[in-house]
Amino acid sequence: MKYIYKIFSVFAVLFLFSACEKDEDPTVVSELTTSSLKADKTIVVLSELVSETAAVNFTWQKPTFNVAIVPTQQIEFAKKGNNFLNSTIIGYGSNVSTSAVTHAQLNMIMSDLGATADVVSQIEARLVTVLGQKKVYSSPVTISVTPYTPNPDNAYPKINVPGAFGATSGYTGWAPANTANLYSPEKDNKYRGFIYVSSVAGDDGKYKFTINQDWPGNKGDDGTLTGKLALDGSDIKATVAGTRYIKVDWVANTYSSVLANFGVIGDATPAGWGSDTDLVYNSATRTYVINSIALTAGGVFKFRANDDWAMKIQPAAADQTLASGTGVQTFFSTEGTVTGDPAYKVSVSGNYKIELDLHNSANYKLTVTKL
């Protein structure tokens, strides 16, 4: 009987212990004081000329809670009246309570929000305090912002291509700060673009890849000549003079280089579809030029490399009629930016100057000017 009583007593104690555990509710986090956000401007006109200076200064009061916690903080931006759908954020540490957002940063935010350059757009900003899965929001502030169209040379990541070729293509030889660049339109550490090599005699035609316009961290061939890069590797040398289309994967340490000499062809040109009229590199303007060519209205033309159809310069999609003297963005077919097989055309017959600017792979530019 005593044995049964002892067993009963043990189960009773375990039951009471279990019941006590269940009675302990988890701590509920609640706000003691609310957060607030202030901006020192309500109207901002952005300018690339002062891109690294403050466009607007934010200050905020963080919320307080009933328990000691270390939250993370964000300022969230969205178009006004959109209930913060499709928003974008800037993140901050837990001890920060001020932020100066530069012209360049705010312009990028406006671009992410789909704002139109040179047109006033109203946006809202609010402080977001993040506690694990929980988020606490301040009341929003409204700012009227006029964004600008950024210079593509400053808007996209790039690596530099210093080399002996530079002295005859409008740059300064082996100077990383003054040479052709390869850009990353997708901002994914994969770079591409064109350089012009006038000679491959002797050391001519040699080049390497640098970053931040300086030599530290430069990359060259790993010595196998199989398209692999190595830190402080060997000079890479073009085997044939002309325009080179180069692709570099900076993380995978690979590169490729192919010949790509462009000409114009089409039934709008004097030679029709039978042959190309070659573009000539102009080192003063760093562009490819035909100084005078007769173009016939009603016909079309496009650009191809090496008298072959494997590589073409074209509009993005449908055939495009060009206005004299107005530059338009054009696209390189092998980069996956062209749909179909579109061409260019002019509305008025006459002699034209054609200028193709390939220095920035994020913004190839074509200008056709009636003479």
By CB neighbour count within 10 A (0-12 exposed, 13-18 middle, 19+ buried), where does 303 fall? buried
- Does the pLDDT at position 349 exceed 70? yes
Count: domains in the chain: 3
- pLDDT bin (cut points 50, 70, 90) of residue 134 is confident
The answer to whether 92 and 99 have CB atoms below 8 angstroms apart is yes
CA distance 178 to 235: 18
The pLDDT of residue 1: 39
Structure token pair of residue 70: 């270390």
Domain contains 7: no
CA distance 327 to 321: 12
Name the residue range of residue 168's domain: 153-259
* 3-state SS class at 32: strand
The answer to whether 337 and 315 have CB atoms below 8 angstroms apart is no
User: pLDDT tens across 152-193, in order?
Assistant: 998 899 999 999 999 999 999 999 999 999 999 999 999 999
Give yes or no: residues 341 and 290 share one domain. yes
Q: Which of 235, 259, 283 is the last residue of a domain?
A: 259
The percent of residues above 90 in pLDDT, for the chain, comes to: 84
Mean pLDDT of all residues in 284-300: 97
Q: Which of 150, 179, 202 is the last residue of a domain?
A: 150
CA distance 44 to 283: 40
- Does the pLDDT at position 322 exceed 80? yes
Q: Could you give the count of Cα atoms lying within 13 Å of 158 in the half-sphere of its Cβ?
A: 25
- Does the pLDDT at position 9 exceed 70? no
Q: Which of 259, 284, 308 is the last residue of a domain?
A: 259
Mean pLDDT of all residues in 22-33: 64
Bridge partners, 263 (sequence order):
278, 304
Least confident interval from 31-45, 188-202, 240-254: 31-45
User: pLDDT tens across 70-97, in order?
Assistant: 678 999 999 999 999 999 999 998 889 9
- Does the pLDDT at position 124 exceed 60? yes
- pLDDT bin (cut points 50, 70, 90) of residue 361 is very high
- Does the pLDDT at position 324 exceed 80? yes
Domain contains 14: no
- pLDDT bin (cut points 50, 70, 90) of residue 292 is very high
DSSP string of 252-299, one letter each residue: TTEEEEEE--EEEESTTSTTTTT--EE-EEETTTTEEEEEEEEE-TT-
Mean pLDDT of all residues in 53-60: 97
DSSP string of 62-97, one letter each residue: --EESS----EEEEEEEETTSTTTT-EEEEE-TT--
Give yes or no: residues 69 and 127 share one domain. yes
The answer to whether 231 and 265 have CB atoms below 8 angstroms apart is no
- Does the pLDDT at position 296 exceed 80? yes
* 3-state SS class at 119: coil
CA distance 175 to 281: 21
Structure token pair of residue 328: 């338009």
CA distance 88 to 123: 11
Domain contains 6: no
In 3D space, the residue among 281, 240, 244 whose CA is nearest the CA of residue 263 turns out to be 281
CATH code of the domain covering residue 206:
2.60.40.3620
- pLDDT bin (cut points 50, 70, 90) of residue 12 is very low
Give yes or no: residues 234 and 163 share one domain. yes
- pLDDT bin (cut points 50, 70, 90) of residue 330 is very high
CATH code of the domain covering residue 277:
2.60.40
Give yes or no: residues 232 and 178 share one domain. yes
The percent of residues above 70 in pLDDT, for the chain, comes to: 92
Give yes or no: residues 295 and 229 share one domain. no
Mean pLDDT of all residues in 218-247: 97
Strands 43-45 and 141-146: parallel
Mean pLDDT of all residues in 347-368: 98
- pLDDT bin (cut points 50, 70, 90) of residue 23 is very low
Domain contains 309: yes
The pLDDT of residue 297: 96
